[in-house]
Amino acid sequence: MSDDPHFVDSTRSGGTSRTLRMYGRRDSRDAYALRDYLTRSVVSYEWTEIETDLACYALTGQSLHDAALPIVDLPNGSRLVQPTPAEVAARLGWVMRPQHREYDLSIYGAGPAGLSAAVYAASEGLKVVLLEREAVGGQAGYSSLIENYLGFPDGIRGSDLAERARQQAIAFGAELLLMRGGTHGEFQGDRMIATLNDGTTMISHSNICATGVEWRRLGVAREDELLGLGVFYGAGTSEAAHCSGEDVIVVGGGNSAGQAVLNLSAQARSVTMVVRGADLSATLSSYLVSRIKNRTNVRLALNSSVTELLGDASLESVATIDSHTGERGLLKARKLFVCIGGAPNTDWARDTSIERDHLGYLVTGPDLSRAHLRDHWPLERAPFYLETSVPGSFAAGDVRRNSVKRVASGVGEGAMAVAFVHRFLSEHFV
Ligand SMILES: Cc1cc2nc3c(=O)[nH]c(=O)nc-3n(C[C@H](O)[C@H](O)[C@H](O)COP(=O)(O)OP(=O)(O)OC[C@H]3O[C@@H](n4cnc5c(N)ncnc54)[C@H](O)[C@@H]3O)c2cc1C
């Protein structure tokens, strides 16, 4: 994989460091977005906090007040000032144009389900393109350690698992288009035309939607304003190293929150886990419950919700309420990680004949409603198990109604969806 432009790795450079270097202010939303993106993309980088005028003059020739930060120094010696993750990805050569005008299969979302579908489709000879609007790995990229995925008895970091799958898909010949998201779908017989976020279109004879879920928000005042300035969505894999000696808060009672607590508590002085329910075991796997209870620097705030985020330029403290006693609490913390599940990424299907349930999940196969099938389904045969109400358009992983929400089930559904794609294509193109 030495020509693979995805990797920027100091181990591959034959001596000269090819590590990316990043400089920025401590509480910087832009710097966090870059760290988060690079961590999930398995790129090695060095982060330096610029805290004094002296350091800032040495780096930029300007004072801390005037300088445009963050700065990214690329391995090839070029410097990017205040870049977005998309700009860094483009400068690293990851943002490509499609190689073909039409594909047998287009897959949207490069989480476990989409990556698995790409591996199986490409290995079985389909002309396949995988489109990802952000970073490869999806939610799994936020996991500090996946311990229940078959074949990894010591666990594996989610981003490492995804990086392996990415390499596997590319090796089989799948095309990966990063920073490309589907925004709308149109179905013309056996041609699916997706409009992408850059205004271009993607044409394929079948598609798999593996767009997963988006983090759910707390829904409290100042959440947007403090995003990246102490408030983070997800498990904070890139931030754990910066929590040393801090008191931090994790909101949520599910497995992703549990993993975040374990990961952060290894660095932080204390972690408070704010959970709406009365008992962790109702929502958390038992191996995580026992480990959390064994951590002496973890405090549980059960029956509790966050009501207010407080601070001037960045988060300073968090107000909570106990739903049983009505008691209000105030927790001092400069970092809060929100892990309260998510809502499906299916806006692209809004004006199509694809059936979604009341929460927006894509309905497939046996779950499709009779009324919807009567009005929209055009074929004699019944929809395949992972097929939506549009023939040839499939859904796999967390985005699907009644999905299991595990890495293994996403991977399994990705592989299964490809088997149905073959059956669909053979009905139309053989
Ligand atoms: C912190 C954390 C820890 C977890 N730990 C475990 C664990 O230990 N074991 C386990 O089994 N499960 C775990 N899970 C759950 C598991 O990660 C998910 O079930 C799994 O990632 C779902 O895979 P997916 O491919 O369906 O969707 P996702 O992983 O959500 O991936 C969807 C992808 O689609 C992309 N996308 C969205 N919209 C578009 C669009 N319009 N166009 C193109 N791309 C788009 C997104 O950017 C994303 O990359 C964890 C989840 C989290 C958040």
Q: Is residue 67 within 6 Å of ligand 1 at its C-beta?
A: no
- The model's pTM is 0.91
pLDDT above 50: residue 16: no
pLDDT averaged over every residue in the chain:
93
Q: How far is the CA of 183 from the centre of ligand 1 (A)?
A: 18
Share of the chain above pLDDT 90, in %: 89
Task: Tell me the per-residue pLDDT of 36-57, one tens digit each, with 9 for 90 and over.
Answer: 999 999 999 999 999 999 999 9
Question: Which segments of the chain belong to CATH 3.40.30.10?
Answer: 10-90
- Which atom of ligand 1 is nearest to 211's Cα? 34
Residue from 131, 83, 135 nearest 109 by CA: 131
Ranges 131-135, 242-246, 426-430: which has the least confidence: 426-430
Superfamily, domain 231-338: FAD/NAD(P)-binding domain (3.50.50.60)
pLDDT category at 238 given cuts 50, 70, 90 is: confident
32 pLDDT higher than 50 = yes
The pLDDT-based confidence of 30 (bands split at 50, 70, 90) is very high
CATH code given to domain 102-215+343-428: 3.50.50.60
408 lines ligand 1 (CB under 6 A): yes
Query: How far apart are the CA of 54 and the centre of ligand 1, in A?
Result: 42
Which numbered atom of ligand 1 lies nearest the CA of 398?
A: 26
Q: CA-to-CA distance for 422 and 50, rounded, in angstroms?
A: 54
pLDDT band at residue 116 using 50, 70 and 90 as cut-offs: very high
Q: Is 352 in the pocket of ligand 1 (CB under 6 A)?
A: no
Q: Is 290 helix (H, G, I), strand (E, B) or coil?
A: helix
Structural tokens at position 253: 């009672």
Strands 45-49 and 317-322, bridge-based pairing: unpaired
Q: Helix count (H) and strand count (E) of the chain?
A: 9, 21
The 3-state secondary structure of 301-338 reads: ECCEEEEEEECCCCCCEEEEEECCCCCEEEEECCEEEE
Does domain 10-90 bear CATH number 1.10.10.10? no
Q: What is the CA radius of gyration of the chain?
A: 23
Query: Which part of the chain has CATH 3.50.50.60?
Result: 102-215+343-428, 231-338
Average pLDDT of 196-215?
Answer: 96
Judged against a pLDDT cut of 60, whether residue 207 lies above it is answered with yes
Q: Quick: pLDDT tens for 53-101.
A: 999 999 999 999 999 999 999 999 999 999 999 999 999 999 999 999 9
Q: 264: Cβ below 6 Å to ligand 1? A: no
Return the best residue to mutate from 142, 407, 409 for the ligand 1 pocket (most ligand atoms within 8 A of CB): 407
181-203 average pLDDT score = 94
Tens of pLDDT, residue by residue over 278-303, are 999 998 999 999 999 999 999 999 99
> What value does the mean pLDDT take over residues 296-312?
97
